[in-house]
Amino acid sequence: MPTNQEIAEKLREIYNLMQLAGENRFRAIAFDRAAQTIESLNNPVMEYIENRNLTDLKGIGKSIAEDIYSYAENGSIPVLDNLKEKVPKGLIEWLNISGLGPKNIVKIHKELGITGMDELKTTCEDGRVASLSGLGDKSAKKILKSIEWLQQFGERCLLSEAFEIADVMKAYLEEQDGVEQIEVAGSLRRRKETIGDIDILVGAEADKAIGIFDAFVNHDLVVEVLGRGETKSSIRTGEGRQVDLRIVQPNQFPAALMYFTGSKEHNVGMRQRARARKMSLNEYGLFKLTKDGETDFDQPVDYKSEEDIYQKLDLHFVPPELRENWGELGYFEEHESMSLVEMDDIQGVIHAHSTWSDGKNTIEQMARACLAKGYSYLGITDHSKTAAYAGGLTIDEVQKQWTEIEELNRMLANEGHSFTIFKGIESDILSDGSLDYPDELLEQFDFVIASIHSGLEMPLKSMMERFYKAIEHPATRILGHPTGRLLLRRDASKLDMNQLIDWAVQHDTLIEINANPWRLDLDWRHGTKARESGLKTCIGPDAHTIDGIDDIRYGVMIARKGQFNKERVINTYTLSEFRKWLDT
């Protein structure tokens, strides 16, 4: 049965292809609106499909309803199939280029007669794209930079996308006969923000390996078997992701897990520590050395777990997220542990959008979703007036929203809920560093997230001056997604993050860890500086939908990787503690 998200993706694919095909703009928009309707449903769309009453939903007419029924019944939509034949495949790939919308894609394709990514790159370099009306040299350079990023990171995917595959594969393999131990390894276990290949490690006896590999290569996600061996098999999924499965003997599993988790630099440091203690560490285990300094495979050192291996090398256990060669071996030689925030610590949702700006759900829907997920408060932070492209709120709309929030809080209290919706805003930091509402309005919000959404390519000095002015503004409590990066699409702004962290701490301002999988910003690489400076953060999902609230999961992963404990994450505070923080 197709899910809400699956059908919404198909409708949005039609929307994109219609624009590329030059179809009627309003007909294309109808598919996009229908996709939004399906995404915002609180119940399965299959209920409407089975009852044949999709047209009861706002924004879904008879024609689109028939397309959805067709997909549910036979897995295809004729209009989508026709569009795929009509639109060159190369143009579809261009949609992944940041800053190049369907209108300009069509213009470049028609006027230059090109369809390939390499052709587009060449025409950006030789000036032909810049010569087109409405584009120019600046646009051509921006497109070229986006292509270079896409080509550089095209083999990588977002952390969230990797988990969607890994979670399914791991759950499936766990059920196979002979699997005694199983873990996701590699950069995914270390919670890197982007992932290349997905690594899964299984501990099983040799006579069970064939059956486990058979199950693996025949999973429904598999579109191509890249390799099949006695200890490792590799496949490619429909999303283009490579998944490697390794099977080792159960007694080898801890050492293999450590080795295949990495990082490479962490493993080098561990091997050096082993040799300094007259031992050898590799993916097969921990062994004593011979008199000649060679690995003596006949003298294995006993261990039962990764913790045991660290202990044998005079270290306390290093959490996988921290194995990135930042000094973790020295730290865990001296310290028994590092307190890291857990998902269960999160008490409230800060940074969420509603239909007042560019969100897909109402404030009440977002609040009730937070309640259902066990949270105690919600900070609504719709866009401010400068972000007109995202439905930014005028001053009059802000005041009307406040009235709605107050009414909703009364309603929830009357229902017996100990839950509060707070009046926040994501205020744009303007080019001169000022915020885009009068001070007398800003001070009436419960809290302000100050974010940059334009002018991201400012020179370092100008950008730092811009941020400093925003940080010192008394209304600014949180800096949102500081670098402005979009992973695999757009580079970070030029910033001196060490200085920014110092300024934030001096002014008691938080720097957000934006949990949207495209952002994951503050970057974990600044974690040591943040920890040593005492920087506080909030883990904000930047949720534009009910489902987006769950992106907090990825923010917690990055917070752990960035060495944040519970005490330095503001939305681990209880409702009363959070109120107290707001009043400080």
CA distances to 225, 405, 469, 523, 554 from 194, rounded to whole Å, are 23, 37, 32, 12, 11
C-alpha angle with apex 473: 470 to 477, nearest 5 degrees? 85
SS3 helix, strand, coil % of the chain, rounded to 5? 50, 15, 35
475 — phi, psi (to 5°)? -80, -20
pLDDT of residue 238: 82
Tell me which long-range contacts 229-235 makes (C-beta under 8 A, separation of at least 24): 234/197
20: Cβ contacts below 8 Å, ≥ 6 apart: 87, 91, 92, 95, 102, 105, 106
Query: What does each of the 584 residues of the chain score in pLDDT, given as a tens digit?
Result: 677 778 888 998 899 899 888 888 888 889 988 887 886 666 678 889 999 999 998 889 999 999 999 998 988 899 999 998 888 877 877 877 766 778 889 889 888 988 888 899 999 999 999 998 888 888 888 888 878 777 766 678 999 999 999 999 999 999 999 999 999 999 999 999 999 899 999 999 999 999 999 999 999 999 888 889 999 999 988 887 889 999 999 999 999 999 999 999 899 999 999 999 999 999 999 999 998 889 999 999 999 999 999 999 999 999 999 999 888 999 999 999 999 999 999 999 999 999 999 999 999 999 999 999 999 999 999 999 998 888 999 999 999 999 999 999 999 999 999 999 999 999 999 999 999 999 999 999 999 999 999 999 999 999 999 999 999 999 999 999 999 999 988 889 989 999 999 999 999 999 999 999 999 999 999 999 999 999 999 999 999 999 999 999 999 999 999 999 999 999 999 999 999 999 99
How do beta strands 232-237 and 242-248 pair? antiparallel
What domains can be seen in the chain, in order of their start residue? Answer: 4-153 (1.10.150.110), 157-248 (3.30.460.10), 259-334 (3.30.210.10), 343-583 (3.20.20.140)
Question: First CA to last CA across the chain, in angstroms?
Answer: 51
pLDDT of residue 99: 67
pLDDT of residue 431: 96
Helices 253-261 and 264-276, interaxial angle, to 10°? 130
Cis peptide bond upstream of 339, omega within 30: no
Both tokens of residue 120?
């587009």
How do beta strands 285-289 and 295-300 pair? antiparallel
d(CA 282, CA 268): 10
pLDDT of residue 321: 98
Task: Indicate left, alpha or beta for 70 from its phi (over 0: left) and psi (-120 to 50: alpha).
Answer: alpha
Residue with tokens 């709309």: 397
DSSP summary character for residue 286: E
266: Cβ contacts below 8 Å, ≥ 6 apart: 318, 323, 324, 325, 328, 329
Contact of 489 with 146, CB cutoff 8 Å = yes
pLDDT of residue 452: 96
| CA-closest candidate to residue 43, choices 32, 56, 33, 30 | 56
CA distances to 187, 220, 249, 460 from 244, rounded to whole Å, are 13, 16, 17, 41
Taking residue 350's Cβ as centre, other Cβ atoms within 10 Å add up to 27
Contact of 107 with 134, CB cutoff 8 Å = yes
In sign, the C-alpha dihedral spanning 258, 264, 270, 275 is positive
Residue with tokens 């701490």: 505
pLDDT of residue 490: 87
Helices 159-174 and 552-561, interaxial angle, to 10°? 100
CA distances to 268, 270, 292, 297, 313 from 281, rounded to whole Å, are 10, 7, 16, 11, 10
Residue with tokens 């800096």: 479
* 61: Cα separation from own chain's centroid: 33
pLDDT of residue 153: 60
Taking residue 170's Cβ as centre, other Cβ atoms within 10 Å add up to 16
Question: What is the edge-to-edge ordering of all strands in the sheet holding 242-248?
Answer: 181-184, 198-203, 242-248, 232-237, 222-228
pLDDT of residue 152: 66
CA distances to 117, 200, 446, 465, 536 from 375, rounded to whole Å, are 45, 33, 18, 37, 20
Taking residue 238's Cβ as centre, other Cβ atoms within 10 Å add up to 11
d(CA 263, CA 276): 20
Question: What amino acid occupies position 34?
Answer: A
* 518: Cα separation from own chain's centroid: 5
Instruction: List residues bridging with 198 in a β-sheet.
Output: 243
What SS3 string covers 321-380?
A: HHCCCCCHHHHHHHCCCCCCCCHHHCCEEEEECCCCCCCCCCHHHHHHHHHHCCCCEEEE
CA distances to 45, 147, 384, 420, 473 from 449, rounded to whole Å, are 35, 32, 10, 18, 11
CA distances to 6, 128, 337, 358, 480 from 514, rounded to whole Å, are 25, 38, 26, 17, 7
CA distances to 53, 275, 287, 288, 289 from 299, rounded to whole Å, are 70, 14, 6, 6, 8
Residue with tokens 């009306």: 133
CA distances to 33, 38, 399, 545 from 575, rounded to whole Å, are 36, 32, 24, 23
pLDDT of residue 41: 65
Q: For 165-208, give the DSSP string.
A: HHHHHHHHHHTSTT--EEEE-HHHHTT-SEESSEEEEEE--GGG
d(CA 56, CA 54): 5
